[in-house]
Amino acid sequence: MLNNGRIYYLDSMRAILMILGILLHTANIYSPSHFWLVSGNETSILFAIISDFINLFRMPAFFMVSGFFFVYIYRKRQRIDIVDRVFRLVIPLVFTALTLNVIQEFLVKAHYDQPLDFARFFTAGGWVSHLWFLVNLTVYNLVVWGLFLLKPAHPLLQRTSDWLAGRYVYPLAILAFPLMISGIYGMNRMMDIYSSFYGVTSPFLLLYYFQFFALGLLFGYSARLLDRFSQPGKVELLTFALAYIGSYVVQDRTATDSFLHDVSGAYNHSLVILFLSSMCFFLFRRFLDFRNRALGLISDSAYSIYLLHHILVVSLGILFVDASVNMYLAYPVIVVLTFTLTMLAHQGIARSQWLSFLLNGVRPTKFRKSSRNSHRTEAGARQ
């Protein structure tokens, strides 16, 4: 069982993965291969590389960390306050979507001199924008919370985690997991999983990222499994390398329109995602597994930074594109300004109970006290 102390490197990792959204979305402005809300007059393949590289591992690793902390909190407290967790996800989602994202839509339409179409904005999911992951996390939290109410689920997950961490099983798990990822893509051959529900989410998005959330759940049950993933040894690295070379050779030597070519390509891509996620865990564990005031401040601010950054990147992007600022100057300036302003904004948010509620989902003190008293009353009644 993992100890009950704070896991600094995972705290920092979760925060920085969220903040990487600033680099990614700013890169989209100047990428020749990404159609985004704002497009620069200049583009460079460099920004496409930045965007594509961050996209490979950022959200898979983030959902792994989220799954881990779900189990970590449960095992620490022997319960999950599902109301509190849903509040922390849904309230910021709804508030940001109906305020900042609406203003953002005004700015974008004005920039391109296009008419506003709020009917399409809401029915096509434009209001969700960068907050889609909160929808996924809400669904995952509710589903797993329901699963955790079933007592047999815990020993089963514990045994599965311990088994996967085995000396010979783990390398086989490395080879098998990309097949699961690729299988989600393959499901579309049997049914339509890409159609979205009013643009909010889709079966594909829910299933695809749940794999990583579930892997994080298993990490929470086995310190050894987490260790093997976050501290890969020679066997693990050799397994990744041989699997990558093997799938690449198969893809290269099969006809481009064949099923085997598609499968090997998807497997290869999925293996890269898993490897980069493992390296992300490794680097944070190796270099940031300690208590630090600056990292603590970033961890505390990350949620606010992510919620607020999108409209700032869009606004600054419009300003710099209209002013024809060189993209190599504009990119770092937008990134630094966005990070600085959102970090400062969080300080004001943290001092206000209602802003903390609306933008971080932290219920005001009087509501938390009322909830705790209600919980104690129910507990007393049961006894």
Encode the chain in three state secondary structure: CCCCCCCHHHHHHHHHHHHHHHHHHHHHHCCCCCCCCCCCCCCCHHHHHHHHHHHHHHHHHHHHHHHHHHHHHHHHHCCCCHHHHHHHHHHHHHHHHHCHHHHHHHHHHHHCCCCCCHHHHHHCCCCCHHHHHHHHHHHHHHHHHHHHCCCCHHHHHHHHHHHHCCCCHHHHHHHHHHHHHHHHHHHHHCCCCCCCCCCCCCHHHHHHHHHHHHHHHHHHHCHHHHHHHHCCCHHHHHHHHHHHHHHHHHHHCCCCCCHHHHHHHHHHHHHHHHHHHHHHHHHHHHHCCCCCHHHHHHHHHHHHHHHHHHHHHHHHHHHHHHCCCCHHHHHHHHHHHHHHHHHHHHHHHHCCHHHHHHHHCCCCHHHHHHHHHHHHHHHHHHC
**The pLDDT value given to residue 161:** 97
**The pLDDT value given to residue 378:** 41
Token pair belonging to 107: 């700015």
**The pLDDT value given to residue 379:** 42
**The pLDDT value given to residue 377:** 42
Contact 108, 37 (CB under 8 A): yes
Give pLDDT tens digits along the chain (383 positions).
Answer: 444 457 899 999 999 999 999 999 999 999 999 889 999 999 999 999 999 999 999 999 999 999 999 999 999 888 889 999 999 999 999 999 999 999 999 999 999 999 999 999 999 999 999 999 999 999 999 999 999 999 899 999 999 999 999 999 999 999 999 998 888 877 877 788 888 888 899 999 999 999 999 999 999 999 999 999 999 999 999 999 999 999 999 999 999 888 888 889 999 999 999 999 999 999 999 999 999 999 999 999 999 999 999 999 999 999 999 999 999 999 999 999 999 999 999 999 999 999 999 999 998 875 555 555 544 444 443 33
**The pLDDT value given to residue 151:** 84
CA 211 to chain centroid: 12
Place of tokens 């007393």: 380
Token pair belonging to 345: 């904004």
pTM for the model stands at 0.93
**The pLDDT value given to residue 8:** 94
**The pLDDT value given to residue 368:** 56
**The pLDDT value given to residue 183:** 83
Helix axes 203-221, 223-230, angle to 10 degrees: 110
